[in-house]
Amino acid sequence: MSHLFYQGRGRKPVLDQARGVYMWDKDGKRYLDGSSGAMVCNIGHSNPNVLAAMRQQMEKSTFGYRLHFETEASEKLAARLAALSPKGLNKVFFVSGGSEAVESALKVARQYMKAVGQGSRWKVISRQPSYHGSTLGALAVTGYEPLSAPFEPMMRQMPKIPAPRAYLDGLNPNDLETGRYYAHMLAAKIDEEGPESVMAFIVEPIGGASTGALVPPVGYMERIREICDEYGILMIADEVMTGAGRTGRFLGSDHWSARPDILVMSKGIGSGYVPLGAMIADDHLVEAVLDAGGFAHGYTYAGNPLACAAGLAVVEEIESQGLCANATRIGEKLLARLHGLMQKHDMIGDVRGKGLLTAFELMADRDKKTPLPKEWNAYQRVVDIAYEKGLIVYSRRTRDGIEGDHILVCPPLITSDTNLDEIIEGLDASLTQFSGEIAG
């Protein structure tokens, strides 16, 4: 009997070893990690340089409380992350995960607004669907009903605008008008809520699990930035999934000129070696908070030296191995191969993504964009079949009246052409088996 419990009662195989893009369970079965866990293990498993850096740090110290000591590891990682962030975002606050990073961003924004005499601004607008974390503050800005409904009434459900899912609305994502159309929804929502009450807009630069690798339409992010400036609200980029090279640039935000005021990272920065996250904020914002008496927030494990040493080694691997470039190269091939599968499998209704954050969506009718029947549980069944075949992918079913089963294909950034062949073969076989099941 296991004493563990997570989302359900299902018991999973016991993990034994993991190397590169592969993982083995206790029975010796091999899996290709086609989702990097939950889009986490960006540099692959058991990287010797990261393990060596961790060992070295462990020999020196594994804990120093942030109110007692700085550590070399946290100082160095903060400096590297500031250098890799947009100009002016130089203040780094370490945490242990994505939800904590989002909470930290919401709280620093709130203290900033108070510090500059705009304490009436407290609402945070976000998108539907979206995912920003599981703690109650992060959940309030999350637009994903399966994870928020069980906790309603929420402490405060924050206002949402639709995510720019041009493919569902029959709009051309490469048309500037499309980007402006969706961005305008933010201005309209701010007006509706009362501009004096709105503090920030939080956005995943490229959608993660909730939208299935949704790339915004041309001009969207730039117009969002302008609207935030026009109304004097902060723009928070949730880079928990898009950061650390996942989309082919170090940050998802690097694909556009729209510079956020605050960004949050986690997942790929610890790459599964350690729990690590960071909130990186604009200098002038943090200085205002510090001048007004300090940031009234923190976590016991913030800036943990072992976590930071691992994070620093992860960033070094991303840079020295050219993993952003590899994510772009393999990501382009992956998208092309997924489009190839779309020719063969009618149920693939859309293929999208950037770098190695890619997804395809299953539909009953590609032209009408109708979802598959809910009772088929396609999103779960396809993943289960692939898992049986030794391929791990990640899926979600979006709800809230907008339905779609999407499968995320997000292998580590070290993925080779041979690994890619294996992923496509596994997906092809899984979709063929699933089609047979529903036909029979």
The residue range among 94-102, 152-160, 353-361, 427-435 that interacts with ligand PLP, by the rule CB under 6 A, is 94-102
The residue range among 10-18, 173-181, 236-244, 330-338 that interacts with ligand PLP, by the rule CB under 6 A, is 236-244
Contacts with ligand PLP in 24-43 (CB under 6 A)?
38
Among 34, 37, 86, 97, binds ligand PLP (CB under 6 A): 97
How far is the C-alpha of 19 from the C-alpha of 196, rounded, in Å?
Answer: 52
CB atoms under 10 Å from CB of 90, counted, come to 17
The residue range among 25-33, 234-242, 291-299, 347-355 that interacts with ligand PLP, by the rule CB under 6 A, is 234-242
305 binds ligand PLP (CB under 6 A): no
Question: What is the closest distance, in whole angstroms, from the C-beta atom of residue 202 to ligand PLP in the complex?
Answer: 9
- Burial of 113: CB neighbours in 10 Å, binned 0-12, 13-18, 19+: buried
Q: In the numeric block, which tokens belong to residue 185?
A: 């929804």
Question: What is the closest distance, in whole angstroms, from the C-beta atom of residue 29 to ligand PLP in the complex?
Answer: 26
Task: Rank residues 136 and 325 by Cβ distance to ligand PLP and give the closer one.
Answer: 136
Task: Rank residues 263 and 431 by Cβ distance to ligand PLP and give the closer one.
Answer: 263
CA atoms within 13 A on the CB side of 261: 24
How far is the C-alpha of 303 from the C-alpha of 316, rounded, in Å?
Answer: 18
Question: What is the closest distance, in whole angstroms, from the C-beta atom of residue 438 to ligand PLP in the complex?
Answer: 29
- Please report the sign of the dihedral spanned by the C-alpha atoms of residue 191, residue 109, residue 281, residue 312: negative
Question: What is the closest distance, in whole angstroms, from the C-beta atom of residue 204 to ligand PLP in the complex?
Answer: 5
Among 20, 44, 133, 248, binds ligand PLP (CB under 6 A): 133
- Please report the sign of the dihedral spanned by the C-alpha atoms of residue 358, residue 100, residue 104, residue 134: positive
Q: What is the rounded (10 degree) CA torsion for 100, 104, 107, 108?
A: 180
Q: What are the CA-CA distances from residue 225 to residues 123, 203, 301, 341, 358 (Å)?
A: 17, 11, 33, 36, 25
Task: Rank residues 408 and 420 by Cβ distance to ligand PLP and give the closer one.
Answer: 408
Question: What is the closest distance, in whole angstroms, from the C-beta atom of residue 119 to ligand PLP in the complex?
Answer: 27
Among 53, 241, 274, 314, binds ligand PLP (CB under 6 A): 241
Q: Strand 234-238 to strand 15-19: parallel, antiparallel, or no bridges (unpaired)?
A: unpaired
Listing DSSP states for 36-58 in one string gives HHHHT-TT-BT-HHHHHHHHHHH
Task: Rank residues 204 and 282 by Cβ distance to ligand PLP and give the closer one.
Answer: 204
253 binds ligand PLP (CB under 6 A): no
Task: Rank residues 46 and 134 by Cβ distance to ligand PLP and give the closer one.
Answer: 134
Q: In the numeric block, which tokens belong to residue 50?
A: 């990261």
Output DSSP code: residue 376: G
Q: Strand 391-392 to strand 234-238: parallel, antiparallel, or no bridges (unpaired)?
A: unpaired
Q: In the numeric block, which tokens belong to residue 57?
A: 């740090």
How far is the C-alpha of 359 from the C-alpha of 394, rounded, in Å?
Answer: 9
159 to 198: interface string for ligand PLP, x by CB under 6 A: ----------------------------------------
98 binds ligand PLP (CB under 6 A): yes
Task: Rank residues 249 and 369 by Cβ distance to ligand PLP and give the closer one.
Answer: 249
How far is the C-alpha of 208 from the C-alpha of 98, rounded, in Å?
Answer: 13
208 binds ligand PLP (CB under 6 A): yes
Among 54, 78, 102, 228, binds ligand PLP (CB under 6 A): 102
Among 47, 99, 128, 430, binds ligand PLP (CB under 6 A): 99
Q: What angle, 0 to 180 degrees and rounded to 10, lies between the N-to-C axes of helices 305-320 and 323-344?
A: 70
How far is the C-alpha of 25 from the C-alpha of 48, rounded, in Å?
Answer: 21
Question: What is the closest distance, in whole angstroms, from the C-beta atom of residue 163 to ligand PLP in the complex?
Answer: 12
86 binds ligand PLP (CB under 6 A): no
Asked if 264 and 277 count as a contact pair (C-beta separation under 8 A), the reply is yes
- Cite the DSSP H helix spans in 93-163: 98-115, 136-140, 145-148
Output DSSP code: residue 292: T
Question: What is the closest distance, in whole angstroms, from the C-beta atom of residue 339 to ligand PLP in the complex?
Answer: 25
Task: Rank residues 204 and 317 by Cβ distance to ligand PLP and give the closer one.
Answer: 204
The residue range among 61-69, 174-182, 201-209, 291-299 that interacts with ligand PLP, by the rule CB under 6 A, is 201-209
103 binds ligand PLP (CB under 6 A): no
The set of residues, in sequence order, having a beta carbon less than 8 Å from that of 151 and lying 6+ positions away, is 136, 139
Q: What is the rounded (10 degree) CA torsion for 401, 406, 410, 415?
A: -170
Question: What is the closest distance, in whole angstroms, from the C-beta atom of residue 260 to ligand PLP in the complex?
Answer: 13
85 binds ligand PLP (CB under 6 A): no
Residue with the closest Cβ to ligand PLP? 98
The residue range among 129-137, 286-294, 297-305, 398-406 that interacts with ligand PLP, by the rule CB under 6 A, is 129-137
Which residues in this chain contact ligand PLP in the complex, by CB under 6 A?
Answer: 38, 97-99, 102, 131-134, 204, 208-209, 238, 240-241, 266
